[in-house]
Amino acid sequence: MRARVFVTLKPSVFDPQGKVIADALHSLGYDGVADVRQGKYFELDLAATETDAAKALAAEVADKVLANPVIESYRIEVD
Amino acid sequence: MRFGIVVFPGSNCDEDAYHAAKDVFGQDAEYLWHKDTHLKRADVVILPGGFAHGDYLRTGAMARFSPIMKEVAAFAERGGPVLGICNGFQILLEAGLLPGAMLRNRSLKYQCEHVHLRVEQTDTPFTCAARPGQVLRIPIGHGEGNYYAPPETVARLEANRQIVLRYTDPQGRQDDASNPNGSVHAIASICNERRNVVGMMPHPERACEVLLGGVDGRVIFDSVIRALARGPEKPALLEVGRPV
């Protein structure tokens, strides 16, 4: 199975990269873009064949390694 | 006394720290490879700057899984003095030995320059030879030194007097222009509650010789040498705050 892990800074944490990208978009005339948050995206190819097991493993990896819980949160999709 | 300097793949300030301890201060020094499982009887452990394991995921994120970090954590638990410099500070944060995390500098640039630091606390083994309020001029070199912790954690750091150094102007005044990376409360260095583990973004090992443009970093090394001369792991570590 494949797990997709989206890691983003928590809403309360300032994102310097997102801010610069938003400013750049505004300077290009994209005034309709209110804000930008930059994050990381991981694809995990898993040996698991059941959704629950795949989700559990992806969550463990995200908790222990992929995300820093002090500043980041994550979302997982499995298929 | 013996300095143990941890070397991770990607460390690049390990030789500078070794040189400062051994050649400038005349102390014993040993490199500790990240796969080692003992500290070679080190009295103080330094996690040096660099890019441990490449810092590809997050700065310091993988180093905490190195075997030596179990020994460093146990050493810290016994009250042994541990200093994380730059990437070493980032590793201490990721390892949970200090609270908080590092974000990209607000400039998004790698900042390499001399900064001014005000000594906020002198009852740590790495600042006990400094005067409270003393201003140090020491270089930084980092892209991710923008210290962040949730407001309740920062409040606890303030209340427990765990903020050891702050970025200031040359007169010791805190202002936004003197904060090189956007760190919350201008934090350049913190310690743990027990005060034996200190992390700092500036590089004291690069400021120990006139040839290198300044000697203000010496007080960090002088401090731990003085603290350990008074005997390791004693409550005295908490009482050496008053300069002699």
A17 contact residues in B (CB cutoff 8 A): 104, 108
Q: Which residue of B has its CA nearest to A69?
A: B101
Could you identify the residue written with the tokens 């007080």? B219
B38 is catalytic: no
Q: Which residue of A has its CA nearest to B150?
A: A70
Could you identify the residue written with the tokens 């903020």? B163
How many angstroms separate the CA of residue A36 from the nearest CA in chain B?
15
B205 is catalytic: yes
Residue ranges of A 5-34 with Cβ closer than 8 A to chain B: 9, 12-14, 16-17, 20
Residue ranges of A 55-74 with Cβ closer than 8 A to chain B: 65-66, 68, 70-71
Could you identify the residue written with the tokens 């936004």? B176
B13 is catalytic: no
Reply yes or no on whether the pLDDT at A52 is more than 90: yes
Enumerate domains of chain B plus CATH numbers.
2-233 (3.40.50.880)
Give residues with Cβ within 8 angstroms of B235, minimum separation 6: none
What tokens does B142 get? 């980092």
A28: domain CATH number? 3.30.1280.10
Q: Rounded to the nearest 5°, which phi and psi values hold at B79?
A: 100, 5
- Assess B101–A contact: CB distance below 8 Å, yes or no: yes
pLDDT of residue B14: 98
Distance CA B205, CA B24 (A): 10
Structural domain of residue A32, as residue ranges? 2-78
pLDDT of residue B230: 84
pLDDT of residue B235: 45
What tokens does A4 get? 């997709």
Three state DSSP letters for chain B: CEEEEEECCCECCHHHHHHHHHHHCCCEEEEEECCCCCCCCCCEEEECCECHHHHCCCCCCCHHHCCHHHHHHHHHHCCCCEEEECHHHHHHHHCCCCCCEEECCCCCCCEEEEEEEEECCCCCCCCCCCCCCCEEEEEEEECCCEEECCHHHHHHHHHCCCEEEEEECCCCCCCHHHCCCCCHHHEEEEECCCCCEEEECCCHHHCCEHHHCECCCHHHHHHHHHHHHCCCCCHHHHCCCCCC
Structural domain total, chain A: 1
The amino acid occupying position B172 is G
- Assess B106–A contact: CB distance below 8 Å, yes or no: yes
More confident residue, A41 or B230: A41
Q: How many CB pairs under 8 A join A and B?
A: 37
Q: Among the options B13, B53, B205, B208, which is catalytic?
A: B205
- Assess B70–A contact: CB distance below 8 Å, yes or no: no
pLDDT tens, chain B, 244 aa long = 999 999 999 999 999 999 999 999 999 999 999 999 999 999 999 999 999 999 999 999 999 999 999 999 999 999 999 999 999 999 999 999 999 999 999 999 999 999 999 999 999 999 999 999 999 999 999 999 999 999 999 999 999 999 999 999 999 999 999 999 999 999 999 999 999 999 999 999 999 999 999 999 999 999 999 999 986 555 444 444 444 3
Are the beta carbons of A70 and B149 separated by less than 8 Å? yes
What tokens does B85 get? 């410099």
